[in-house]
Amino acid sequence: MKLSTKIFLAMLLGVIVGSLLNVFSGVTESFIAELSTWLVDSIFDLVGQIFVASLKLLVVPLVFVSLVCGSSAMGANARMGRMAVKTLGLYMLTTALAITLALMLANVINPGEGIELGNAGAYQPTEPPSLKSVLINIFPTNPVKAMVEGNMLQIIVFSILMGVAVTHSGAAGEKALEVFQSFNEVIMKMVAFLMHLAPYGVFCLLAKLFSELGLSAILDLALYFATVALVLVLHAAGVYSLLLNLFTRLNPITFFKNVRPAMLFAFSTASSNATIPVTMNVARERVGVDNGIASFTVPLGATINMDGTAIMQGVATVFISQAYNVDISMGGYLAVIATATLASVGTAGVPGVGLITLSMVLQQAGLPVEGIALIIGVDRLLDMMRTAINVSGDCMVSTVVANGEGLVDKTVFSEVSDRDEYVEG
């Protein structure tokens, strides 16, 4: 069986087993209830956490090493600058489109009408970071500290500087590059090893989650949930397919088949950051994006490009405004689009942060931040779904940027979805 099929089946099984355990744990004082608690706490949680830790373990060395190789390959010429500008532009554009689509559809579906404001007020808002501090924070004072803290933007800046310096260092630079290239191979091999364990890890993560997830919370917020889900799907199937076709003429269906493993990992971990090793592997080995481009666009995207998150924030804004009966003007909506696009840059690619930066957007719209309490119950599941979209957006932009430079391997792109290329690393 292909590995991607195995991962998919493991996910499905995880959801089923988890949901069954959720039902059983409601039956008190039975042997089965005890058994299910033991299974969840001692087995699923253990394996799931070790799996995510092993994924995260690869992120910093992978990004550092492959971006040094990548940026030295690109050289310190106009190409590097052009690629960076295009990438940033596309990341912003897709996020702005995402939130606009979310606001429009939410205003048609009206998910917040007739909502009871029962338990609102229970949410304690966390202070979102200011734009100025976000910008200053891109520049590292200490690269080791940046790596210890896993600060992706700082690592990106440092690695690019190093890669550019490598190109300009003559013979010494060549030697250094050889070392980096060898390490790059080794780390990709580690990613490949980990992929083999993915079905077990993914199964445990989902079984634990669904054993705790009461489905009743979702039923209460069914319309909100469905609206976010609908916009996520429309954005990926519509906007991404359109942009991909417009800029590259590549087949969107093949594209989504190729990026599926990254989306599955993103869904299971709810973290774009933890998924970086898989996204990078998928971009290179399945979509055919050149390493010079992918090593820059993928970690950057995982850090600043969050279309799915912006969609949740757009629908949540409309939902909360309707629940609290506050009208938002046209100008208010435009400000929400701008704020959510910037909030997406400031949202770290880890679980649940989109909910924190949502407070920025709500404040901008003059809405009560406590409204977040209304939607928190279903956020975990939506977090998984939006992270899958976040990651597929990173891949889409990577493909468009690489194609602009003539750096997409079309043979890999069109043939690989039938093979398990990423297993080989």
Binding positions for ligand ASP, rule: CB under 6 A: 270-272, 306, 309, 347, 349-354, 383, 386-387, 390
Choice between 159 and 305, CB closer to ligand ASP: 305
Choice between 33 and 96, CB closer to ligand ASP: 96
Distance CA(350)–CA(378), nearest Å, equals 17
How wide is the angle at C-alpha 89 spanned by C-alphas 84 and 95, nearest 5°? 130
Ranked by CB distance to ligand ASP, the top (closest) residue is 354
Pure H helices in 249-288 = 252-269, 272-282
Distance CA(31)–CA(173), nearest Å, equals 65
* Nearest approach, Cβ of residue 380 and ligand ASP (Å): 10
What DSSP state is assigned to residue 129?
Answer: P
Q: Which position has the token pair 């780390």?
A: 187
Distance CA(204)–CA(199), nearest Å, equals 9
Choice between 350 and 365, CB closer to ligand ASP: 350
CA 310 from chain centre, in angstroms, equals: 12
CA 66 from chain centre, in angstroms, equals: 19
* Nearest approach, Cβ of residue 351 and ligand ASP (Å): 5
Choice between 321 and 347, CB closer to ligand ASP: 347
Choice between 361 and 407, CB closer to ligand ASP: 361
165: Cβ contacts below 8 Å, ≥ 6 apart: 173
* Nearest approach, Cβ of residue 309 and ligand ASP (Å): 3
Query: Residues 260, 167: contact at Cβ < 8 Å?
Result: no
β-bridge mates for residue 408, sequence order? 289
Instruction: Provide the token pair at 243.
Output: 């942009």
What is the rounded radius of gyration, in angstroms, for the C-alpha atoms of the chain? 22
Choice between 201 and 351, CB closer to ligand ASP: 351
* Nearest approach, Cβ of residue 404 and ligand ASP (Å): 25
Choice between 152 and 207, CB closer to ligand ASP: 152
* Nearest approach, Cβ of residue 175 and ligand ASP (Å): 37
11: Cβ contacts below 8 Å, ≥ 6 apart: 202, 203, 206, 264, 267, 268
Got the DSSP string for 89-125?
HHHHHHHHHHHHHHHHHHHHH-TTTT---TTTT---P
Choice between 80 and 101, CB closer to ligand ASP: 101
Choice between 241 and 390, CB closer to ligand ASP: 390
* Nearest approach, Cβ of residue 358 and ligand ASP (Å): 9
* Nearest approach, Cβ of residue 272 and ligand ASP (Å): 4
* Nearest approach, Cβ of residue 143 and ligand ASP (Å): 24
Q: How far is CA 183 from CA 54, 56, 143, 191, in A?
A: 18, 17, 19, 12
* Nearest approach, Cβ of residue 393 and ligand ASP (Å): 10
Q: Which position has the token pair 């971006």?
A: 67
Residues in the chain: 425
* Nearest approach, Cβ of residue 136 and ligand ASP (Å): 22
Choice between 198 and 270, CB closer to ligand ASP: 270
Distance CA(401)–CA(83), nearest Å, equals 7
